[in-house]
């Protein structure tokens, strides 16, 4: 929660500074960023995330469910995930910088997908991994939209491409 709070505070400070100074500030707020990694080796933040995934921390339980215990009967929440490819975030930032008409706040979100559908997508790419089998329905009403960013000319890649490229980059890095 501290990470999310720091992002909210940083955006608020940037907007307040813009008001005081007359500076034109545009913010791009990405949802959960996913995709291939740039660095060829494991970094501490990714190792921590990977560790959290292996112990199936509720929030992250489906971001990389490739090491799920075989035959596990544990139910996981069928929560909605809001994902965007890291490469699409980079393109959104460039677009917001380069377009003179860019103003205000932009939500950078490509895919809203629940846990079961995400697992099904992963199964279609890598069927030989162990995946969660039981999902319990939860009430999930959060809905965001990137329509404002799309009107600026932004587009995003298909979820299958993001998942395929991400998993391949993790594999190449030995993660």
Catalytic annotation, residues: 7
Separation of alpha carbons 131 and 72, rounded Å: 9
SS3 call for 130: strand
* Helix, strand and coil in the chain, % to nearest 5: 45, 20, 40
- Strand-pair partners of 33: 84
Integer-rounded Cα radius of gyration of the chain:
18
> Encoding tokens for residue 30?
């990405």
């Amino acid at each position: 929660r501290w990470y999310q709070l720091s992002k909210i505070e940083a955006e608020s400070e940037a907007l307040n500074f813009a008001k005081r100074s007359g500076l034109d500030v545009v913010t791009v707020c990405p949802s959960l960023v996913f995709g291939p990694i740039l660095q060829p080796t494991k970094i501490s933040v990714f190792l921590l995330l990977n560790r959290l995934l292996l112990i199936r921390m509720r929030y992250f339980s489906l971001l990389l469910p490739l090491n799920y215990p075989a035959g596990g009967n544990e139910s996981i929440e069928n929560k909605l995930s809001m994902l965007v490819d890291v490469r699409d975030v980079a393109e959104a930032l460039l677009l917001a910088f380069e377009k003179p008409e860019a103003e205000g706040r932009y939500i950078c979100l490509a895919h809203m997908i629940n846990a079961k559908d995400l697992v099904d997508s992963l199964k279609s790419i890598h069927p030989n991994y162990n995946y969660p089998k039981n999902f319990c329905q939860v009430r999930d009403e959060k809905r965001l939209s990137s329509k404002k960013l799309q009107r600026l000319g932004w587009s995003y890649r298909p979820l299958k491409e993001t998942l395929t490229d991400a998993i391949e980059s993790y594999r190449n890095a030995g993660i």
